Structure 1
């Protein structure tokens, strides 16, 4: 096994994809195909997540409380993001479900993507293929949009995002 050099942004994407799958069985190749990430990257990512204490020893179960702690307290510091220029893309953060139902804003945030149908300020996704994968998986889209709210949102958006993640993870830590 390779030396652990810390988590990478796409590790979060992979863990959230596993959660989005719910109780459906999966293999590494399924995650790779659905996320447009190589199988070796998925394998290495799960090894890093195991070392970090975010997945079980068999790498099939995400420790949701630990992941939520990481997202809540570390994501915006480890993978910070500042919205940039207006581009075409896929809605994220407070501009995408579920936050767009409770937060009104004149500024939309998007992941840059040529085939996206919205315009907004660019937020760099945690992996370059996130927009494509999210257009095919609404649950993953919600989870990654909530993660982006933690990365770029103000206190109110972050608090709402944490509550929404707790609901989707079926845990209560507040």
Structure 2
């Protein structure tokens, strides 16, 4: 059995993309193309996720309960984030749906992206191509925004994000 050297941030992005696909069939090359990540990196990521117990050994079924548990209990410690300077980008965390419909805030958080249409405080995405991929898949965008709310939000935002994430996973 291959040694597990720990998860990488884009492993979460790949798993969330699979969740976003729902019941639709997919191939690794589809995930790679849609996330702008190489085929080999997607393959290695799925292998790490199998070893971590976050996807079934067939690499098709995300272990949703385990992934929710990892995201809600560990992600903010493993991949913490602090907002930085004002930039143009794509809304994330409580600034993007579905939380933007629940939480009113004057602080806007964005993933830096030159083609973005919003100015806000910069949040480093889990992978550099997250903004581009999120613009092409609104479900993925919502999932990644919820994950960011958990990564950097206060207790109230984390609670709302967790509830919304669980809705998506069920």
TM bucket, shorter chain: over 0.9
Per the alignment, residue 104 of structure 2 pairs with 104
Partner of 2:31: 31
Instruction: Supply the distance in 2 between the matched residues of 1:75 and 1:126 (Cα, whole angstroms).
Output: 11
> Partner of 2:12 in structure 1?
12
How many Å separate the matches in 2 of 1:22 and 1:111? 25
Runs of 4+ more than 6 Å apart: none
CA offset digits 1:117-165 (Å, max 9, x no partner): 1000000000000000000000000000000000000000000000001
SS in 1 for 2:140: helix
Shift of 1:2: 5.1
Q: Distance in 1 between matches of 2:43 and 2:28?
A: 7
Does the residue aligned with 2:120 lie in a helix, a strand or coil? strand
Instruction: Give the secondary-structure state (helix, strand or coil) at the position aligned to 1:90.
Output: strand
**Deviation at 1:3?**
3.0
Tell me how far 1:4 sits from its aligned partner: 1.6
Deviation readout 1:4-39 (Å, 9 max, x if unpaired): 210000000000000000000000000000000000
Any gaps of 5 or more consecutive residues in structure 2? none
SS at match of 1:15: helix
Partner of 2:151, secondary structure, is helix
Residue 46 of structure 1 pairs with residue 54 of structure 2: no
Per the alignment, in what secondary structure is the counterpart of residue 87 of structure 1? strand
Structure 1: stretches of 5+ with no match in the other structure: none
TM-score using structure 1 length: 0.96
CA distance in 2, matches of 1:62, 1:116: 30
Map 1:1-174 to 2 at 5 A. 3-170=3-170
**SS in structure 1 at match of 2:163:** helix
- Under a length normalisation based on structure 2, what TM-score does the superposition of the two structures give? 0.99
CA distance in 2, matches of 1:107, 1:164: 20
Residue aligned with 2:119, SS? strand
How large is the RMSD of aligned CA atoms in angstroms?
0.8
